Structure 1
Amino acid sequence: MVQLLRRPAPGLAALAVKIELVVAEQVWELRAGEACLAALVRDVRGFAGV
């Protein structure tokens, strides 16, 4: 799951799935959780154009 969350989301639907996984699996508690959340932020910024 960590590898999936670290990969870029190809679209908004995939981003929504990633957010659901982050919450369901409480990713912030995983060893690699910080990197997963950083990848999520990159996805959001990429789609927002910032």
Structure 2
Amino acid sequence: MPQLSPMSWITLFVLLMISLLVLSILNWWNTDSKLYISPAPKKKKAKLWPWS
């Protein structure tokens, strides 16, 4: 295992945090936009998901 300097550890950590943040923002935006663009009618949803 090669030795990593503290600076590279910080860089890796920052990159990881940024990627997680981007993923969560994209996920939130996707769900939010889906709800915003096409709100599912109650009757239609009941037919699609009989168990819910």
Scaled by the length of structure 1, the TM-score of the pair is: 0.38
Task: Report the structure number with the largest CA radius of gyration.
Answer: 2
Scaled by the length of structure 2, the TM-score of the pair is: 0.37
**Greater relative contact order (Cα < 8 A, sep 6+):** 1
